[in-house]
Amino acid sequence: MKVLIVGSGGREHALAWKISQSPHVTHIFVAPGNGGTETENNIINIDIKASDIKGLLDFAKSNEVDITIVGPEDPLVKGITNRFEKENLMCFGPTKEAAQLEGSKEFMKVFLEKYSIPSAEYKAFTNAKEAIDYIKKKGCPIVIKADGLAAGKGVTIAKNINEAIEAIHDSMNSQIFGDAGKKVVIEEFLSGEEASFIVMTDGKTALPFASSQDHKARDDGDLGPNTGGMGAYSPAPIVDKEIHEKIMNTVIYPTIAGLEKEGLKYIGFLYAGLMIDKNKNLKVLEFNCRFGDPETQPIMMRLKSDLAQLCYDACRQSLQNSELEWDDRKSLGVVMASKGYPYEYESNQDIQNLPKSENDLKIFHAGTKIENGKLKSNGGRVLCVTALGSTVHSAQEKAYNAISKISWKDSYFRRDIGHRAINRED
Ligand code: AMP
Ligand code: GLY
């Protein structure tokens, strides 16, 4: 089987690495990939951007690619699957109509309401004055979200009215998120513990992957600005058997059934971001129409099943008899970012002394490139150092020990990834 993976992040490195272990796979192309995929023996980087749908389509056709697996949300929301399917090419990822679950917060909220899936109370606005009046009526804390895709930066949790008004002005008047923020969704603030719950679906069957938790805030103690994610671990201890069943019954099954009822074709990964409170009540914070980054990295370390075969079976709508096999160990990944991320940062710095992969250690790359045979930083999130251990604590120790060996002038990373899970272990 020839596989094309679309994207250039840590998620795509981890997916490509896992897929390369399948006995059914003869060729793995990653477009455009990164320094990590370039240095894997059996993976070939292709210089086509993830947003260049026509370029990807031409490549898949002329190289007789059997299945294309899409990592990021952008090409999905823009309709890569629709285009590939028109040409009878297999593409793992939802159609653009179904990807609206991530592409528009309002679409998602209307869908959740219609199918009685628990979520925060909300209202959508295209008029700034009406939005501010609503905020004044509801009070703070309150959550303001750009309706469209904003690379994980479109959410503000406003502690007071001034912060809320500023967020409305930034999004609707100054349009710092472009068209994505002309409409905003204003949501009730939810407290509790977050978990990421990701399933693979063929449109009828939902196969739950291992649970995980990520750390979105930049700084230790879950403080500072939100990022794409500074680290993650799997499984999430908060998702016990009872909560797992509850998520499947109140969120996943109704969503799959609702999509089918609406005639929205969804084959791919469905990611539910959840808030779980002290009484084990859960609410959906967000849907993503793809795998999480960095959740993919620790989850792929634990997956024993053949991911290529699973994606292929999903595209043929025959997941009903599939089962997943997991490594029982815990897995934890720490993101090494460029100092300054998520704001301005410097790229093109030398990265040296990367520890070699072992059975329980893997360094996934995101923003890296190889220049004249040397590894350089090339983005905000650069590496995800991922380790397995009998406990989250031992996985964490292994990951930080590997980090201590890496030489890179302006790296930045959190020192407390996994703290919630580790507190429960102690
Ligand atoms: P989203 O992109 O909608 O998942 O939001 C990004 C992050 O903002 C989430 O992972 C939460 O940490 C936080 N967040 C979003 N919505 C809410 C909410 N209603 N209440 C509390 N925190 C939220
Ligand atoms: N780690 C959060 C996300 O992938 O959206």
Coil, helix or strand at residue 141: coil
- State the ligand closest to the CA atom of 214: 2
Cβ(94)–Cβ(117) under 8 Å? no
With residue 2 as reference, give the H or E element that holds it: strand 2-7
Assess whether the C-beta atom of 285 lies below 6 angstroms from ligand 1. Answer: yes
With residue 53 as reference, give the H or E element that holds it: helix 53-62
Mutate to test the pocket of ligand 2, among 295, 299, 335, 381 (most ligand atoms within 8 A of CB): 295
CA 101 to chain centre: 14
Mutate to test the pocket of ligand 1, among 121, 153, 157, 216 (most ligand atoms within 8 A of CB): 157
Cβ(205)–Cβ(320) under 8 Å? yes
Residue 86 and residue 116: Cα distance in Å, rounded?
33
Neighbouring residues of 371: CB distance < 8 A, sequence distance ≥ 6: 348
Which is nearest to 369 in space by CA: 6, 34, 14, 11?
34
Report the length, in residues, of the chain.
426
Which is nearest to 59 in space by CA: 40, 72, 46?
46
Match 């409305």 to its residue by tokens: 168
Assess whether the C-beta atom of 145 lies below 6 angstroms from ligand 1. Answer: yes
Assess whether the C-beta atom of 120 lies below 6 angstroms from ligand 1. Answer: yes
Which is nearest to 392 in space by CA: 426, 361, 362?
426
Question: Residue 70: beta bridge partners?
Answer: 6
The residue ranges of the chain whose pLDDT is under 70 are none
- State the ligand closest to the CA atom of 288: 2
Question: What pLDDT, on the 0 to 100 scale, is given for residue 192?
Answer: 94
- State the ligand closest to the CA atom of 290: 2
CA–centroid distance, 89 to ligand 1, in Å, is: 36
Assess whether the C-beta atom of 192 lies below 6 angstroms from ligand 1. Answer: no
Residue 413 and residue 381: Cα distance in Å, rounded?
10
Cβ(295)–Cβ(198) under 8 Å? yes
CA–centroid distance, 229 to ligand 2, in Å, is: 6
Q: HSE, CB side, 13 Å, CA atoms: give it for residue 405.
A: 11
Which is nearest to 402 in space by CA: 384, 420, 421?
384
Torsion of CA 15, 18, 19, 21, to 10 degrees: 170
Structure tokens at 311: 């994606």
Residue 212 and residue 275: Cα distance in Å, rounded?
13
Structure tokens at 425: 């272990």
With residue 212 as reference, give the H or E element that holds it: none
CA–centroid distance, 294 to ligand 2, in Å, is: 7
For 99, 290, 357, the CA distances from 271, given in Å and listed in that order, are: 11, 6, 28
Residue 121 and residue 204: Cα distance in Å, rounded?
28
Assess whether the C-beta atom of 273 lies below 6 angstroms from ligand 1. Answer: yes
Which is nearest to 193 in space by CA: 237, 159, 129?
237
Residue 405 and residue 262: Cα distance in Å, rounded?
52
Cβ(72)–Cβ(7) under 8 Å? yes
Question: What pLDDT, on the 0 to 100 scale, is given for residue 149?
Answer: 87
Question: What pLDDT, on the 0 to 100 scale, is given for residue 181?
Answer: 87
Residue 179 DSSP label: G
Query: Which residue's CA is the closest to the ligand 1 atom numbered 1?
Result: 286
State the distance between the two ends of the chain, measured CA to CA, in whole angstroms.
Answer: 46
Structure tokens at 344: 């301005």
Assess whether the C-beta atom of 400 lies below 6 angstroms from ligand 1. Answer: no
Cβ(19)–Cβ(308) under 8 Å? yes
Question: What pLDDT, on the 0 to 100 scale, is given for residue 151?
Answer: 78
Match 């350089």 to its residue by tokens: 376
Q: What is the value of pTM for the model shown?
A: 0.95
By CB neighbour count within 10 A (0-12 exposed, 13-18 middle, 19+ buried), where does 393 fall? middle
For 36, 267, 290, 337, 338, the CA distances from 410, given in Å and listed in that order, are: 19, 40, 30, 9, 6
CA–centroid distance, 410 to ligand 2, in Å, is: 24
Question: What pLDDT, on the 0 to 100 scale, is given for residue 35?
Answer: 98
Which is nearest to 259 in space by CA: 201, 198, 207, 323?
201
Atom of ligand 2 nearest to the CA of 152: 5
Which is nearest to 384 in space by CA: 359, 361, 407?
361
Mutate to test the pocket of ligand 1, among 142, 147, 155, 218 (most ligand atoms within 8 A of CB): 155
Assess whether the C-beta atom of 195 lies below 6 angstroms from ligand 1. Answer: no
